[in-house]
Each structure stands twice: as C-alpha cells, then as structure tokens.
A and B are shown apart, each in its own frame.
Chain A
Amino acid sequence: MPDTLLTLRNVSLGYDGQVVLERLSFVVEGGECLALVGPNGAGKTTLLRGILGLIPVLAGQIEYGFDRSTSPPGYVPQRDTLDPIFPLTVFEVVLMGTYGRLALLRPVGRRQRQLAADCLERVGLADLAHRPFWALSGGQKQRVLIARALAVEPHILLLDEPTAGVDPGATTIIMDLIAQLNRDQSITVVLVSHHLRLVRSLVHSVVWVEDGCASKGATEVMLAPERIMELFGPLRGTE
C-alpha cells in the first residue's frame, strides 16, 4: 500500500463556482482511519465529494497515491440517495462494486460473482444475498453498501454518514465493521460523521470542518472533551 493515499494542496471546493471550502491542505496516510466532522452545513459532504471527484476542484489540487482509473476508491453513499424503484437483490447491488475494475462493455464473470459473494460474507450478510435490497433494514442496507464498496477492492474507503438514520444497535455493528476493516485488513478509511462520541473511539485522526476551513489533528486533541464542550456544550446521547 502506498504511504500517502491522498494529498490536498490549497484545495477550494464549492458548487456553481461558489466557494464553500477554501485553501484546504492535509494528507491521508495509508492505513489511517480519519473522520470529517463539524457542524451541520459546514461542508463535510462537500469535502468528501471533492475527494471523490464528484464536484470540480475550484483551486489547488488533489493528488491520489494510487491510479484512480484502474483502482477506484470504495464509496459508500448515504442510502437515501438511492431510488427504491429499482428491482435489485442484495447480490446485484454488491455486484455493482465490481464494475469499477471491469473494462468497458466487459460482462460480469465468475470472478466478479465470487468477489461479490466474499464481500457479502465479510459484512456478515451472505444469507441475505437473494433478498430484495429494499426489504432490508437501514443498518443492513448500509452494510450491503459497504460490501459493494469492498467489491471495488479499494485502497481507500470513503463513507458519507454511514450511521445516519440507523438505530443504536445497528450503528454499533456498522462502526465495529469499519474498525475491523481498517484494523485487520489495513483499509484506509475516511468517513463523514456527526456522531462525535462514536467517532472518538474509532478514528486515529480528525479533520474539523467549519467556516469554510478545515484543520486536521489527532483524535484526542481535536475531539478533546474540553474542546467539544467549548464548541457545543456537554455531549448528550450519541452526539
């Protein structure tokens, strides 16, 4: 695995030419587990979308420590962005992850099917492979989307609010799964979250996004109780 997977140099991001985040600079090392945190509307998802190449970089540059064309990143979107009108089984959704490395017009083969089955196994949902995707609970859907991202065989996994709208039990399962993927399989993780308490026990480092800027630091510094108290007041529940 490359030492540095992502380097942002004076990056500005935004929509329709309007800058939301300005002059961001930080690196993501291989094997790191990093959270993008900050208040609602601060631009956490904008930053993630910029890293993924879903919105244009207005200034500066993002360098990838791997070849994106042959080895795309694993991406886990918020499940609400997917339309339930599509008749898809769990297996079909996971299989989509293998398209990332398949050449144009090349059909899915035995290797891709095996890979999809293995990824479902890794997230503990192999027995649901032939169930309709939309019949699953929110937490199960999120794990299926993680399996889909793993089917890309990525160097880096980028997750947008992986526990949004998920019950506490499922939240713990998802966070444990992410920790396990990072710890046991050395997959670099970048996730957007507003669950500060959960994030604090999971990630090595934090990028704090606020007022159009972002600063990176160790979790124990960035999410120190006194700093959070200063920003938000005392933490309640999962916040």
Chain B
Amino acid sequence: MNTFVEMLSPGFLLREALIGSVLVGCLCPLMGVYFVLRRMIFLGVALPQVSAAGIALAFLVYRMLIGQHQHFVPSERWLAMLGSLSCTFVGLLVLAALARHRETVEARIGITYAIAAAATLLFLALDPAAEAHMVNLLKGDILATTGPSLTLMAGVFGAVALLLVVCRKEFLLVSFDRDLAVVFGKHAGLWDSLLYLMIGVTISLGVMTAGPMVTFGFLVIPPLTARIITRRMLTFSLTAAGLGAITAFAGFYCAYRFDLPLGPAEVALASLVLAIVAVTRGLLRVLGRWQAA
C-alpha cells in the first residue's frame, strides 16, 4: 500500500516514467483496436522493429552527412522520431499495398521483421558513435522519460486520440465496409493513409518511449481482451484503452515493488488479464450450455 501511495505522490522520483507508461498503455490499445479489427496483428510485430531500424538509420545518415550528434539534447529525440516515423510509415504503406496478395502475407511480414531486426544491428555496427545510450533509445527506456519528452508524447498522443474520436465515423466505415464507403463517395485510400500515419506516429513514439515489445504488446493484448467482453464499437475502444492504462499502471507497480524489468512486467500483466478474461468467458459459455441442456 505504501508503494501505491508513493507512486501517486507528486514527488515520486519516477513520476514522468509512470505517466509515460500509462500514456503508452492508453493510446497503443486505442490505435490497436483498428489493428485487431483490420486483421493487421502480424504487422504489429514487424512495424515496431521497422521503427527501431528507422531510428538507427537516422543516426547513421546524420553522422555520415553532418557529423556526430549530441546525446541527451532535444534534437536527438526529434532525429530519432523522424527516422522512426518515416521508416514505419513507408513500411506500413508497402505492406498494406501488398496486403491484397493474401496468400503470402505472413511470409512478407516475417521477412520484414527479419530484415528490420538485422538492419537495426547493422546500422548500429556501421556507426562507430553508437553507444549504450543509443541502444537504450532503440529498445525504449521508459525510465529515462523526461519532462520535455513527456510533453511531446502527451501532445502527439492527444492529437492522435482526438483524430480517432473526430474521424471515428469515417474510420469505422472504411474499415468495416470499404465498398459502402466508396459508394458514399468517401476517399477510402486517403482515410487508410491517415489511419496508417496515425499508426506510424503511435508506434514510433511508443517504440522510442517503451520499446518494440511493450508497443506491440499494448497494440494487441488489451484490444483482444476488450473484444471478448464488449459488443459495441465505442465500449470496445474505451475498454481497450482503459485496460491498457490500468495494466500499464499495475505493471509499473509490480516492477517497482518487486524490482522487475518494467516492460516485461507490463506485458506479462496484460497477458495475464487476457488469459483470465478468456478462460472466464469460456467457463461461462460452458456453464450456459450446461444450464440450457
């Protein structure tokens, strides 16, 4: 209980990290709702890795063209963001454009993941200035969250969340019944691109803040949990975001209280919630059938 109170106190040493963690836990599932509904879950494995490769590439290109960059300055984060976002967006567009060839979709995503993972390490190896700090940036170090980076994250995440709310009618229509959207004269391709851009921004910032594993985990696990217990789109989205935020907070608590690595603790907790919900739902179904018989 003391730990819980300590975490909520204004003077908590890791306050920025805690808020950052909850923000990632809230926004990634909100975006992940469309990942799950559009059956893009496998993309969620590859894209955070592509994002990490983009960060490494941005630093390498910067060093080759301009020179050594400075660590722990705001421009470093912007550079990482630029590399991450451009690579994620391009990767997403290419994979989405090829998505209609459904028979090889898993193979393409698997290859993308392998290439991105290898490229990340190669770009780091080619950059002699690559240091442990940069590796942390690639893996995402939520404990290193600072006030300015938290402000950036809150601003970007706020804009993405606002767009999701304002454009929910268009995003739902294009995702659920693309043909009807076209019949209604909606520019389905443009709406897809906007959605992909928002996914790219979320993944980029998520990877830089919390790393590929946490980003993928929160993109997919809370929406899958919410899908089991909700029947409407609005409650689905809100439940996914709420579950993500709560498990991120609870994961932070567990990591802090029991001295565990933060990212794995959060993902493990989110998975545990999914398992409990799925098993409970299965048992209730069996019970319902048994009572009906």
User: A77 on the interface (CB 8 Å rule)?
Assistant: yes
Q: How far is the CB of B165 from chain A (nearest CB, A)?
A: 10
- Assembled-state Cα–Cα distance A138/B37 (Å): 22
Verify A83–B39 contact, CB threshold 8 A: yes
Chain A CB within 8 A of B148 CB: no
Seen from chain B, the residues whose Cβ lies within 8 Å of a Cβ on chain A are 36-37, 39, 166-167, 169-170, 172-173, 175-177, 179-180, 182-185, 227, 230-233, 235-236
Q: Can you list the 5 inter-chain pairs with the closest CB atoms, starting with the nearest?
A: A100-B184, A87-B236, A75-B183, A132-B231, A72-B184
Contacts of B36 in A (CB 8 A): 85
Q: Are B39 and A107 in contact (CB under 8 A)?
A: no
User: B169 to A108, Cβ gap below 8 A?
Assistant: yes
A19 and B150 CA atoms in complex are apart in Å by: 56
Q: Does A89 contact B (CB under 8 A)?
A: yes
CB pair B233 A92 closer than 8 Å = yes
Query: Whole-angstrom distance between the alpha carbons of A223 and B43 in the complex?
Result: 50
Closest to A100 in B: B184
Is there contact, CB below 8 Å, between A69 and B169? no
Which residues from B are CB-within-8-Å of A99?
169-170, 173, 184
B176–A82 CB distance below 8 A: yes
Main secondary structure on B side of the interface with A: helix
Closest Cβ of chain B to A149, distance in Å, is 9
Across the interface, B173 reaches (CB within 8 A) one of A73, A89, A96, namely A96
Hey, which chain A residues are within 8 Å of B169, CB to CB?
99, 102, 105, 107-108
Q: Please tell me the size bucket of the interface on A.
A: 20 to 34
* With A52-B183, A72-B183: A87-B230 Cβ-Cβ less than 8 Å: yes
Kindly provide the distance from the CB of B36 to the nearest chain A CB, expressed in whole angstroms. 7
A185 within 8 A of B: no
Q: Specify which of B182, B227, B233, B236 is in contact with A54 (CB 8 Å cutoff).
A: B182
Which among A81, A87, A88, A96 has the highest number of chain B CB atoms within 10 Å?
Answer: A87
Per-residue contact bits, chain A 76-104, to B (CB 8 Å; 1 contact, 0 not): 01000111011111001000100110101
**Could you show 18 A-B contacts with beta carbons less than 8 Å apart?**
A54-B182, A54-B183, A72-B185, A75-B179, A75-B180, A81-B177, A82-B176, A83-B37, A85-B39, A86-B176, A86-B233, A87-B227, A87-B230, A87-B232, A88-B176, A99-B169, A107-B169, A108-B169
Q: Contacts of A104 on B, CB cut-off 8 Å?
A: 170
With A73-B183, A105-B169 given, can you name 4 additional A-B contacts, CB distance below 8 Å?
A69-B185, A75-B179, A77-B179, A88-B233
Chain B residues near A17 (CB, 8 Å)? none
Contacts of A85 in B (CB 8 A): 36-37, 39, 227
> Considering residues B39, B166, B233, which has the most beta carbons from chain A within 10 angstroms of its beta carbon?
B233
Nearest CB of chain A from residue B55's CB, rounded to whole Å: 32
Taking CB atoms, residues of chain A closer than 8 Å to B231 are 87, 89, 132
Minimum CB–CB distance for B95 against chain A, Å:
19
A237 to chain B, nearest CB (A): 30
Tell yes or no: A53 within 8 A of B by CB.
Answer: yes
User: Chain B contacts of A89 at CB under 8 A?
Assistant: 231-232
**Contact B172 A96, beta carbon cutoff 8 Å:** yes
Let me know if A68 is at the binding interface, CB within 8 A: yes
Q: In whole angstroms, what is the CA distance A10 to B138 when docked? A: 59
**What residue in chain A is nearest B36 (Cβ atoms)?**
A85
Out of B39, B176, B177, B179, name the residue touching A52 (CB < 8 Å): B179
Cα A79 to Cα B185 in complex, Å, equals 21
**B275 CB to closest chain A CB, in angstroms?**
20
Residue contact B176 to A96, C-beta cutoff 8 Å? yes
Question: Could you say which residues of chain A place their CB within 8 Å of the CB of B184?
Answer: 72, 99-100, 152
CA of A77 to CA of B166, assembled, Å: 27
Closest CB of chain A to B159's CB: distance in Å? Answer: 15
Q: Are A83 and B176 in contact (CB under 8 A)?
A: yes
Chain B's nearest CB lies how many Å from the CB of A159? 13
Residues of B within 8 A of A132 (CB): 231
Given contacts A54-B183, A72-B185, A75-B183, contact A82 B232 (CB under 8 A): no
Measured between beta carbons, the chain A residues less than 8 angstroms from B230 are 87
Contact (Cβ within 8 A) A68 B227: no
Measured in the bound complex, the distance between the Cα atoms of B34 and A132 in whole Å is 19
Q: B195 → chain A, closest Cβ, in Å? A: 15
**Whole-angstrom CA separation of A53 from B177 in the bound complex:** 15
Assess A105 versus B170: contact at CB under 8 Å? Given A54-B182, A92-B232. Answer: yes
State A53–B181 Cα separation when bound (angstroms): 11
B173 CB contacts on chain A under 8 angstroms? 96, 99
Within the assembled complex, what's the spacing in Å between the Cα atoms of A168 and B233? 33
